[in-house]
Structure 1
Amino acid sequence: MRKLLIRVATLAAAATTLAAPVAPTTAAAAQNLSFRPLQYNTNGYNWGGYAATGSGFTSVSATWTEARATCNSTNDLYAPWVGIDGYGSSTVEQTGVATDCSSGTAVHQAWYEMYPANPVYLSTSSYPVAAGDVINASVTYAGSNRYTLKLVNSSRGWTYSTSKTLSASRTSAEVIIESPTGAYPNFGTLNFSSATVNGKSLGSFNPVALDPSNGAYEARTSALGSGGTSFSDTYLRE
């Protein structure tokens, strides 16, 4: 997934404000049959969820149930993911599941990315994902510029883990939904749970709340639940 500009949503008030602009970035499209090349979306903001900011982030983890998405158009594409460094940084260490509508129906595929390297999509035969599957994703800093990226599909009994090296600042940690095309399929409501950063609740870091917008809000991020480890994103429009 590629990071684009971000709209900050202040959930405690009706007004919204914009985050300080971050430089738009693109990554070359992965050579993958399921996912077509994507163009940078200059028209809006494409993240929903929460980003903790500061320094010294070493881990982020969250669990979700893969939503049953209805495609509005073949341009629809989105992904829930967790990562370190995506918010206002020139690197991202992230992993999650993408839902792509380019074929006319929703296709789910697990992936990870050590940006600025290209995203890596996992084999759909070895690591299948379908709507209703329970996914846990985590990124952990292991020291000496090494990161462990891990996905667990407990519904289908598989685990994928890889260790990669990247020099990064570790100045943010995120639990996110993102549409690189700026067009979300109708995913209903996606619920995140067990969201932790550095082994503590996501809420304990007073994270920034984000709503994706492309002329109008495309999804809405809820307030954090009790304990600060759960929230939901609800689809509004493509």
Structure 2
Amino acid sequence: MLATRLTRALVAAALATAGLATGTAVATTGPATFGPHVSFGHGAGSSFSGGNWGGYASFGSWTTATASWTEPSVTCRSTNDLFAPWVGIDGDGSSTVEQTGVATDCSSGRPVYQAWYEMYPAAPVYYSNSISAGDHFTATVTRSGTSYTLTISDTTKGWTKTTTKSLSSARHYSAEAIIESPTDSYPSVSGNTISFTGVKFDGKTLKSTNPSALNADDRGTNTWIPNAIGSDGTSFSITRH
């Protein structure tokens, strides 16, 4: 699987470079599938009992989820390291997820940042737009019937990608602002903290939607734990413990 991830990452990087050279926005396949919330832990009684999602999720039939974050600087610990902050609808209690965010992939031995969207169970699609650590992002997923509009903006570099897709099997169980590692392996993140701001579901503050806090496991050696929601009701940070 790692060899496949590396090959796909190199192909994606080559396509992205070609797209940037010609000024064309190229959507590429990426190195991993993200998908629904899974609680796996590492043995009974373990203090590292998180799942693959860390952050906050609110249950209900939401039509819009939005959040902002600053992409952290990372140092790769292994070629298996992979993680993404994202915002989305569904996935906690359902087998579909409609999500968009930024993935940091270390399969090449260095961090590669790519914006992406995923209409799980379909594979994620990665964009070629240039991203740097420290860039500020705002992402929104909106549904209307079976149609979903997924928008992500790098407000630092001044670009926006919007994709509209249909998914008739979606269950509309939840909305969330999350960090996730499909490989259960995170790089070293500057400050050991990732922060979200402006988190709202259907225009309501995160705090007012009675969300559930979710811990993310980090290979059984650490846990990413969300801190209390800020006084503004829309912001929170997730810290590695």
| TM-score grouping bracket, smaller chain normalisation | 0.7 to 0.9
Whole-Å separation in 1 of the counterparts to 2:67 and 2:34: 28
The Cα of 1:171 is off from its aligned counterpart by: 1.4
The CA deviation string for residues 213-236 of structure 1, in whole angstroms up to 9 with x for no partner, is 243443121110012200001234
Residue matched to 1:208: 212
Q: Is the 8 A contact 1:43 1:215 kept in 2?
A: no
| In 2, Cα distance between equivalents of 1:158 and 1:200 | 26
1:89-117 C-alpha deviation (Å, 9 max, x unpaired): 01100000000111111110000000111
Unaligned runs of 5+ in 1: 1-27
Q: How does 1:211-222 map to 2 (within 5 A)?
A: 211-213=215-217, 214-222=219-227
Amino acid in the other structure paired with 1:189? T
Where does residue 160 of structure 1 map in the other structure?
161
Residue aligning to 1:136: 138
| SS class of match (1:218) | strand
Paired residue for 2:65?
A: 60
Q: How far did residue 38 of structure 1 move?
A: 7.1
Residue 151, structure 1, aligned to residue 156, structure 2: no
Look up the match of 2:119: 114
3-state DSSP class of the match of 1:160?
Answer: strand
Q: Which whole-Å deviations, capped at 9, do the CAs of 1:48-103 have from their partners, x for residues lacking one? A: 1000012x210000000000011111111000000100111011000000001111
Partner SS, residue 208 of structure 2: helix
Is the 1:186–1:235 Cα contact (8 Å) retained in structure 2? no
* Aligned with residue 57 of structure 2, among 43, 51, 66: 51
Percent identical among aligned pairs is: 53
Q: CA RMSD in A?
A: 2.3
Quote the offset at 1:31 in angstroms: 5.1
The one-letter amino acid paired with 1:209 is: A
TM-score by length of 2: 0.79
> SS at the partner of 1:67?
coil
Secondary structure, aligned partner of 2:188: coil
Tell me the number of residue pairs that the alignment of Structure 1 and Structure 2 aligns.
204
Of 201, 204, 210, which residue of structure 2 is paired with 1:197? 201
Gaps spanning 5+ residues in structure 2: where? 13-29, 42-50
User: What is the TM-score with the length of structure 1 in the denominator?
Assistant: 0.80
Asked if 1:105 is matched to 2:110, the reply is: yes
CA contact (8 A) 2:33 2:124 kept: no
